[in-house]
Amino acid sequence: MAQDVTIRGENGIPIDADSTYNAAQTVVKGIATTNYTQSDFTLDSFQRLRVSEPRIQFECSFSAQTPATASSIWESTAVASGTVALTGNLFGSTLATTTSTSSGYWIQSYNHVRYAPGISTLLRFTFCFNSLISGVTSRLGMFTDQGTFPSTAGDGAYLEAAGSVVSFVVRSMAGGAGSETRINQSSWNMDKMDGTGTSGVNLNWANTQHFVMEYQWLGVGTIRFGFETGSSGTVWAHQINAVNSATTSWSRTGTLPLRAECYTSTSQAVAGTLTLVNCVVMQEGDVQLLRGWRYFSSNSGGTVRLGGTALGLYPVMSLRAASTNDLTKRTRFIPTSVSITLAVVATGATSVQVALLTFPTPNTAATFAVQPAGSGTTVDIAATATTAITGTAIASWIIPNVVGTYTFDLSNMPDNQNVAGYNAAGTVAIAGSSVLTLAAGPMTGTASAGATIAATINWKEII
C-alpha cells in the first residue's frame, strides 16, 4: 500500500519528495527506481527481499574424497559394476556406468535437509554431464528413490539428462504409487537456456554447469529451476506453481536428501559418466529455531549391562528413528548428553572406554521396542552385551575403572551435523546408518569380569 512520508535532511528540514513503498519497489523523487524481482535473485521463493544471512544445512566438495569414501555422509551404491572415482586432476568425483545395460552408480546423502514452513530452501550443484549419450540417464538434485533402482518411487525434484533430452523433473508419492512430472528443455517457461531466451544464454552440456533449484514446500508451494551463468547471474529457466493445480501436494515432504545417479538403459558403445564438483543447500533462516527441537530421554533399563571382558566396545543402548513409515524414519535426532554408571568395576582393567557409534555392527539381538511418548525415536536395550561391536565413533571418552556416574555434555555438537541418518530405501536395519549406539568396555588388558553398567541418553529431535 502506498503511503505519504516526510523525508528530512540532517538539519531536520523536510526534503521535497514523493515516496512509494511496496514489497517490490522503492521510488523516491530524483532517484532512480529500484526493482526487486525473483528473476534477478533479489527475492526468495516467498517474495521476500534477500537480506537474511543464509544458513548452510548441507555441503560437500567431491574433490577431497569420493562419496564411497565419505561413507558417513553418503550412501554410495554400484549397480552391475558401475564405478565412482576422483577425476584425474582432483576437481571432482565421476559416477560411471559400464557399456552393459542396467549398470550405473548412485549416491544419496544420509542427511535429509529439514524443511520448515515459510523458509526457502536453495540448492546449488556444480557438475558436468560430459557427453549426452543415447541410453544413458544422469540425474542430480534433492530427491529419493525408494524402489528398485532406477524407479519412480520417491519424492523431490531434480535435473535430468536422458540421452540428448535435458529436463526438470518433479517426483512424488503423494498419490500413492510413484509418479513423475517431466518438463523438457524445449518447454521451460522462463528461459529455455538455448540462446532464444531473455538472457541469451545457451548452455553447452559438455561443459561444467551450475544448477540452482529453490523451493517452498508447504505441500503446494513453488519450485524454481535455473542456472548460475556468471555474467548474467542466476537465470531462472522454469517455475512450477502447485497451488490450485493438483489434488495432492507436489511431494509428500519437503525434507529431502541430495542425490545423484548415472545409469544405462541399453547397451552402450562407451560408458556414461556424470562428474560432480560441489554442492550446497542453504536456507533463509534457522530451521531449528523456527521449527523447534523436541527433547527426550531414555535409559538402559532395569537390568544392568555387562561391559564385556576382552578389550573392545560392547553395546549398552541404541537409538534409531521410529519404524512407523518411511517419513518418520527420517526423524533427525542428536544426543545432548550421556551418562554412564559403573555399578561394579571391571576386574583386571585399568580404565573403561565409552563411545557413541554410528554404523554399529553386529549389534546382535538388538530390539528397538522402547519409544518415549510423542517421540519419533525408538530405543534398544536388548542387544547382546557380551559381543563386541565396531562402528564410526562420533564421540568417545575414557573413564576410570571406579564405581561412579560419569556425565558428558554434548550440547555443543553442531545441529547441522548428520549424526544418525538412514538408508535410501527408508529401511532401518539393525546394523545400518540409522542406528546410534552407546557402547562401553575395557580400555586395557583382558578383564576376568566385565564392568556392570547402566546408562542414560538425552537427545533432541525433529520429525
pLDDT digits (tens, 9 = 90+) for 317-371: 999 988 888 888 888 888 999 999 988 887 877 788 999 998 899 999 999 999 9
> What is the average per-residue pLDDT within 96-105?
97
Choice among 47-56, 191-200, 208-217, 335-344 with the minimum mean pLDDT = 47-56
Per-residue confidence band for 401, with pLDDT thresholds at 50, 70 and 90? confident
Supply the DSSP symbol for 345: P
> What is the average per-residue pLDDT within 31-50?
60
Give the pLDDT score at 22: 38
375 within 8 A of 385, measured Cβ to Cβ: no
CA atoms within 13 A on the CB side of 162: 13
> What is the average per-residue pLDDT within 388-414?
91
Give the pLDDT score at 48: 65
171 within 8 A of 152, measured Cβ to Cβ: yes
What is the residue-averaged pLDDT of the chain? Answer: 86
Q: Which residues lie below 8 Å from residue 461, measured CB to CB, with a gap of 6+?
A: 293, 294, 296, 331, 332, 333, 334, 375, 376, 377
Per-residue confidence band for 3, with pLDDT thresholds at 50, 70 and 90? very low
Q: Which residues lie below 8 Å from residue 281, measured CB to CB, with a gap of 6+?
A: 56, 57, 58, 59, 113, 121, 122, 123, 124, 142, 258
Measured in Å, how far apart are the chain's first and last C-alpha atoms?
Answer: 39
Give the pLDDT score at 168: 98
- Here the cell at position 356 is 557413541
Does residue 62 come out as left (phi exceeding 0), alpha (psi in the -120 to 50 range) or beta?
alpha
Angle of CA points 350, 352, 358, to nearest 5°: 155
| DSSP E strand boundaries for 145-229 | 156-162, 165-172, 179-184, 209-215, 222-228
Report the alpha-carbon distance of residue 456 to residue 449 in Å, rounded.
23
Angle of CA points 105, 213, 142, to nearest 5°: 35
pLDDT at 99 over 70: yes
CA atoms within 13 A on the CB side of 147: 14
Classify residue 295 by burial, with Cβ atoms within 10 Å: 0-12, 13-18, 19+. exposed
Per-residue confidence band for 449, with pLDDT thresholds at 50, 70 and 90? confident
Report the alpha-carbon distance of residue 137 to residue 144 in Å, rounded.
16
Assign 140 to helix, strand or coil.
strand
Per-residue confidence band for 29, with pLDDT thresholds at 50, 70 and 90? low
Concatenated DSSP letters for 362-396? --TT--EEE--TT-SEEEE--S-TTS-BEEEEEEE
All domains in the chain, ordered by first residue: 1-35 (no CATH), 55-290 (2.60.120.200), 293-462 (2.60.120)
Greater confidence (410 vs 117) lies with 410
Per-residue confidence band for 79, with pLDDT thresholds at 50, 70 and 90? very high
The alpha carbon dihedral of 242, 245, 251, 257 has a sign of negative
Give the pLDDT score at 31: 55
Residue with cell 520429525: 463
Residue 409's alpha-carbon distances to 79, 173, 395, 396, in angstroms, are: 42, 40, 11, 12
72 within 8 A of 358, measured Cβ to Cβ: yes
Choice among 9-13, 222-226, 372-376 with the minimum mean pLDDT = 9-13
> What is the average per-residue pLDDT within 160-172?
97
Per-residue confidence band for 110, with pLDDT thresholds at 50, 70 and 90? confident
263-321 pLDDT, tens digit each: 999 999 999 999 999 999 998 877 666 667 899 999 999 888 877 778 889 999 999 98
pLDDT at 242 over 50: yes
pLDDT at 250 over 80: yes
Residue with cell 504409487: 177
Give the pLDDT score at 36: 52
Report the alpha-carbon distance of residue 31 to residue 416 in Å, rounded.
43
Concatenated DSSP letters for 48-110? -BS-S--EEEEEEETTTS-TTT-TTTEEEEEETT-EEEE-TTSS-EEEE--SSTT-EEEEEES
Greater confidence (97 vs 38) lies with 97
Report the alpha-carbon distance of residue 208 to residue 146 in Å, rounded.
29
158 within 8 A of 293, measured Cβ to Cβ: no
Give the pLDDT score at 10: 42
In this structure, what are the phi and psi dihedrals at residue 328, rounded to the nearest 5 degrees? -65, -25
Q: In this prediction, what percent of the chain has a pLDDT beyond 70? A: 84
Classify residue 10 by burial, with Cβ atoms within 10 Å: 0-12, 13-18, 19+. exposed
Q: In this prediction, what percent of the chain has a pLDDT beyond 90? A: 57
> What is the average per-residue pLDDT within 6-35?
45
Per-residue confidence band for 23, with pLDDT thresholds at 50, 70 and 90? very low
